[in-house]
Amino acid sequence: MFGLNKKEADKSRAWKRLEKHAKKMRNVEMLEMFDKDPDRAKKYSINFDNMTVDFSKNRINDKTFAYLLGLAKEAKLKQKIEQMFSGEKINITENRAVLHIALRNKSNKPIYVDGKDVMPEINRVLGKIKEFSEAVRLGKFKGQTGKKLTNIVNIGIGGSDLGPKMATEALKKYWGKGINCYFISNIDGTACAEVLNKLDPETTLFIACSKTFTTIETLTNARTCRKWLVDALGEPAVAKHFVAVSTNADEVAKFGIDTANMFEFWNFVGGRYSMWSAIGLIIAIAVGYDNFEKMLDGAYAMDEHFRTSEPAKNIPVVLALLSVWYNNFFGVRNHAVVPYDQYLTYLPAYLQQLVMESNGKFVDLNNKVVKYQTSPVIFGGAGTDVQHSFFQMIHQGTSFVPCDFIIPAISHNEIGEHHEILLANVLAQSEALMKGKTVKEAAEELKAAGKTKDEINFLKKYKSFKGNRPSNTIIVKKIDAYTLGMLVAMYEHKTFVEGVIWNIDSFDQMGVELGKQMALKILPELQGSKDSSGHDSSTKALIDLIRKLRK
């Protein structure tokens, strides 16, 4: 059993020790710890490859760190890591292995599921992705009228959208000449209309991503795009302008897609972990297979770091333990991720799914209801934009919000002083969150600004900041395909470690299904083919009102 010795996480000895220790750490000032220990930044930093993670601006000391590592040991983390990498079925509710790591297994060492090595099949599909992506980019795979396909549209939802969209945007500097990428995910017709309005049918390739080829949002959008194409170019155009990422060959063929252009992926890869698979086809077309492969290389490097490094020098492990520290011992329910790189705009949205769909669970691996907080709420956005939105709350809100600041030392667009100003801002934010500003310091600033005594007395509290607010600073050289692979794999493994500590299954997503099931019942009621009785009075009244307004 992939459980914590049949013991609830919060009953463990290490957990109890951390609860007691946290009470002593609540009023400890980080600034004082820096003053007492000049080597603090060095002690609490990890360097790996082209990445440095500075976690020194956290409310931890040597004892905290030791206790957190003890928690990981008590949860048998190293054993759980090996179980995942060796193909054991650690997704217990669906009886599946969890092998997104196999998709970027550059060593090509065998990984077995039910006695079968999965690597030959993975390599076959990767070879197919390479061949097809190059054919599109070179104009060898042409549209119905013989024109090169330069507008690539990914139709998917959830993991079939967020990962590829985040990665293609992150690597936009590497897009092939003339190629444009678009994403349709929302069932709202506006999502389809706004993309189709920009396109020329003769130069458009659609990638329909649905494992079962039955996902209602994806198939509804795909059928709308199909009609748009057929109206312009005729029925035979479907086979020239649509490909599928799926496992359902029958439904793919019924749609009109040539099954030779169907790219498979597997049950041991969850949707939110699937951008490394054929779900990443649009990435390979956009940036070229060489760059797609570099992204896999970066992820593999982080996999090996995660699998082999001691916990104290293991980036995903340390970041996960810090998350647990604040979430469970300080009662902090939020975590902000702020990349200071415009190309990483979609990273926080991607991480929302990765973290909250994975760890938003209330039943543990022993089939017991947990009595402690699991997933924090993840939010964020690109700096410096978000400095003018939610940073007010981060600096002066009533509770603190741990932050991850992600910084590339070199920009893809070194224009004047732009990047130096950007870097100055992010470093200032992390320092300001830690240092804050006392009421006395605020008063002195106001006095220096020429304010009267009454004005100073009135304004000094408003101008003060409590500080002592934690953050991690993640510095990379540049956001290229390799670095992006490392970064995403880092967060994948961090999420896994959190799940191990909380003793939950991070790889199912039962909570996604309930709303879908109920929507299928409500749909015919909205369309008028079925009576709306059987609902609560609110839902029934809303259905009836909407029907009336739509007549």
Catalytic positions:
357, 388, 516
What is the Cα–Cα distance from 137 to 133, expressed in whole angstroms?
A: 6
Q: Long-range pairs for 176-179 at CB < 8 Å and ≥24 separation?
A: 176/137, 176/285, 176/286, 176/287, 176/288, 178/148, 178/150, 179/137, 179/150, 179/152, 179/285, 179/286
What is the Cα–Cα distance from 18 to 68, expressed in whole angstroms?
A: 7
Q: Long-range pairs for 118-123 at CB < 8 Å and ≥24 separation?
A: 118/87, 118/266, 118/268, 121/264, 121/266
Tokens of 286: 């956009």
- DSSP one-letter string for 340-402: SSGGGTTHHHHHHIIIIIHH--SB-TTS-B-SS--PPEEEE--TTGGGGTTHHHHHHSSS---
Q: Which H or E element spans position 456?
A: helix 453-459
Q: Which amino acid is at 362?
A: F
Residue 322 contacts residue 497 (beta carbons within 8 Å): no
What is the Cα–Cα distance from 222 to 196, expressed in whole angstroms?
A: 12
Residue 187 contacts residue 135 (beta carbons within 8 Å): no
- Measured over the CA atoms of residue 150, residue 153, residue 159 and residue 162, the dihedral's sign is positive
Q: Give buried/exposed letters for 352-371 (b at 16+ CB in 10 A, else e).
A: bbbbbbbbebeebbeeeebe
Residue 359 contacts residue 502 (beta carbons within 8 Å): yes
Q: Sort strands 51-54 and 45-48 into parallel, antiparallel or unpaired.
A: antiparallel
- Measured over the CA atoms of residue 46, residue 47, residue 50 and residue 55, the dihedral's sign is positive
- The residues that bridge with 153 in the sheet, in sequence order, are 182, 206
Only one residue has tokens 């980036």, namely 315
Residue 54 contacts residue 41 (beta carbons within 8 Å): yes
Residue 380 φ then ψ, to 5°: 165, -165
What is the Cα–Cα distance from 186 to 189, expressed in whole angstroms?
A: 8
* Helix/strand/coil for 46: strand
What is the Cα–Cα distance from 269 to 209, expressed in whole angstroms?
A: 14
